[in-house]
């Protein structure tokens, strides 16, 4: 007790005793006034310091544990997982694209069949050429005119896009290209047949 018993006298003025290490007078046995409060305050401060030290220690241990976990990351394994994940995502995208392509091809099939028949009907006309695929058809009418029709995704469904290019030798005679959208394959087929008919009539004049 830092020899307080040698220096602190009893707080009772009628007693000549001194305070022992437990905070009590060695003669009358009375406690020193305020002694208990001071001891309790010291204890609280000590407990608080110990709690702070323990909290700091736990925090340091936690940080060390996290650091060890980070150091133990298996890069090779992580890379393999990410590659597998990327492959799966790519496969899903490709399957979705194939599905859209197949759906578009089915919708475009009537146009392909009609243009194939049109090509057969006009096989003797050397001025009209055809290019046919599952998703678009092209007609070349002479050297200056080209018509292309293709199917494209529109919202939840599909539509048919027709573009007519006309080129002339002299820019001043250039005419605007036609850019049309059709709702059905029947409309697209009718447009192509009409274009062929107009070309044949003008060709014979």
- pLDDT at position 83, please? 93
- pLDDT at position 194, please? 92
**Based on C-alpha coordinates, what's the Rg of the chain?**
48
Q: Does 80 map to a domain?
A: no
- pLDDT at position 2, please? 45
Structural domain boundaries enclosing 125: 103-204
Q: Does 52 map to a domain?
A: no
Mean pLDDT value across the chain: 80
pLDDT reading at 68 higher than 80:
no
Q: Please state, in angstroms and rounded to a whole number, the distance separating the CA atoms of residues 118 and 115.
A: 5
Mean pLDDT of 153-164: 81
Start-to-end Cα distance in the chain: 129
Phi, psi (degrees; rounded to nearest 5) at 168: -120, 160
- pLDDT at position 8, please? 67
- pTM flag (> 0.85): no
Phi, psi (degrees; rounded to nearest 5) at 138: -130, 140
Q: Does 58 map to a domain?
A: no
CA-closest candidate to residue 142, choices 98, 205, 59, 199:
199
Q: Please state, in angstroms and rounded to a whole number, the distance separating the CA atoms of residues 15 and 18.
A: 9
Q: Please state, in angstroms and rounded to a whole number, the distance separating the CA atoms of residues 152 and 117.
A: 23
Tally of domains within the chain: 1
CA torsion 128-133-134-139 (nearest 10°) is -20
- pLDDT at position 54, please? 87
Q: Which of 29-43, 54-68, 97-111, 154-168 has the lowest mean pLDDT?
A: 29-43
160-191 burial, b for 16+ CB within 10 Å, e for fewer?
bbbebebeeeeeeeeeeeeeeebeebeebbeb
Q: Does 142 map to a domain?
A: yes
Q: Please state, in angstroms and rounded to a whole number, the distance separating the CA atoms of residues 29 and 11.
A: 11
pLDDT reading at 50 higher than 90:
no
């Amino acid at each position: 007790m830092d020899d307080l018993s040698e220096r602190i006298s009893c707080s009772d003025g009628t007693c000549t005793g001194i305070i022992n290490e437990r905070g009590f007078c060695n003669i009358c046995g009375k406690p020193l006034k305020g002694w208990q409060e001071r001891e309790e305050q010291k204890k609280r401060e000590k407990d608080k310091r110990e709690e702070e030290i323990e909290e700091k220690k736990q925090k340091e241990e936690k940080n060390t544990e996290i650091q060890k976990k980070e150091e133990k990351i298996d890069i090779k394994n992580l890379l393999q997982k990410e590659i597998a994940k990327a492959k799966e995502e790519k496969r899903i995208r490709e399957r979705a694209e194939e599905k859209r392509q197949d759906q578009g091809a089915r919708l475009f099939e009537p146009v392909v069949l009609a243009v194939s028949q049109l090509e057969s009907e006009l096989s003797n006309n050397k001025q009209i050429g055809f290019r046919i695929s599952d998703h678009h058809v092209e007609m070349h009418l002479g050297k200056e005119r080209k018509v292309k029709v293709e199917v494209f995704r529109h919202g939840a469904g599909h539509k048919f896009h027709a573009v007519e290019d006309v080129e002339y030798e002299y820019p001043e005679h250039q005419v605007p290209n036609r850019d049309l959208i059709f709702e059905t394959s029947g409309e697209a087929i009718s447009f192509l047949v009409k274009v062929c008919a107009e070309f044949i009539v003008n060709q014979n004049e």
